Amino acid sequence: MLRVLQEVATPGVTAYCISKYGVEAFSDSLHIEMRHFGVTFLIIEPSNFKTYITSADENVQHLDQLWKNLDVDTKECHGIKI
């Protein structure tokens, strides 16, 4: 199977990356299992689009807000002394 696009995992969107890789793995598995029956599977992998998930400024603001709302114990677990 030919891979056209290079996959890049991006910090801060781990769950999103996992979900995309999972869809690809599922499709790859179905492709292998079903080809005996003449069923073809294709996966469409669009390129980058400007969305909220790719907006660095908005993501930093969102992460800052999440950090601000964390309790002291959680912040200290991440090495920040309050």
| pLDDT tens figures, 10-61 | 677 788 888 888 888 898 899 899 999 999 877 777 666 677 776 778 778 8
The domain segmentation of the chain, as residue ranges, is 9-45, 48-82
Catalytic center residues: 16
**Rounded Cα gap, residues 82 and 30, in angstroms:** 50
Answer whether 5's CB lies under 8 Å from 45's CB.
yes
- pTM for the complete prediction? 0.48
For residue 33, what pLDDT is reported? 92
DSSP string, the chain: ----SPP---TT-HHHHHHHHHHHHHHHHHHHHHGGGT-------------GGG-HHHHHHHHHHHHHHS-HHHHHHTT---
